[in-house]
Amino acid sequence: MVILITGITSGFGRSMAERLCADGHKVYGTHRKASEFIPGVTYIKADATVEADVEAAVKQVMDAEGRIDVFINNAGMGIGGPLEFCSLEDAQRQMDVNWMGMVRFLHYVVPIMREQKAGKIICISSIGGLLGLPYQGLYSASKFAIEGYCEALRLELQHFGIKVVVVAPGDFSTGFTAERKSVSSPKVHEVYPKYAASLAGIEKDEKSGLKPEFLAAKMSKIVTKKNPRYHYIISTFLQKLSVIIKPILPPSVFAKIISLYYGL
């Protein structure tokens, strides 16, 4: 199969590209600043926030292969901190990369798959797209947007032979933690004295989380399934449980549990 993955420089993207290439697929991957290249993977320099880059990346794959069987939207970034201290520019950047980056690619990929009458669209969301995470509100908002967009897209494309799948990872040990932009004004800690401890807990959970190769192994199976599930949560049992109990418990009770977990 011909597979296009966005954001393969590190983390999930790199692990998926390695695994899917090893599986025998023809893998193309976008990057902004890759320095180490995976043998057998075709790299395309493209920024998901630049429409011309996105259009050119999709065209390069089509010119070479004439089709795209699987598109995996993975490119993303995180901005953390109390929402009132996150700038409007931060909010715009978060949505521009995580959500609009996906929308830009799908703008060019969907017509191709519709003409093919076949294809899989797999978008990486997050547990944070199912739960509003404190001090990660912008990130959660961008992932909630992916969830809603894909739910609608799935219904619209169901008669064209196109499968739309959302994958929601929990805590994973990747470079995402170190690359997260966090607000650092001294006033933040005056107004939110528990922020530092909560952020430390979040980073500890991520650094001790699952390895990206685990997600890549799951993705290896998803891309070949004739009828994949609509939604996959790839996380620890406790994180899966939190998603399951959210719609069952009264909102105030669930909020109390989350507050205790994050030390709010």
Residue 159 tokens read as 């008669």
Question: How many residues are listed for the chain in this entry?
Answer: 264
* 182: enclosing H helix or E strand: strand 181-182
Going by C-alpha positions, the residue among 71, 259, 66 that lies closest to residue 167 is 71
Would you call 139 a catalytic residue per the annotation? yes
* 233: enclosing H helix or E strand: strand 231-234
Residue type, 35: S
Q: In 217-254, which positions are buried (b, 16+ CB within 10 angstroms) versus exposed (e)?
A: ebbeebbeeeebeebbbbbeeebeebbeeeeeeeeeeb
Residue 62 tokens read as 């089509």
List 28, 108, 135, 139, catalytic entry: 139
Going by C-alpha positions, the residue among 87, 96, 214, 73 that lies closest to residue 147 is 73
Contact assessment for residue 17 and residue 38, using Cβ atoms and an 8 Å cutoff: yes
Residues with catalytic annotation?
A: 139
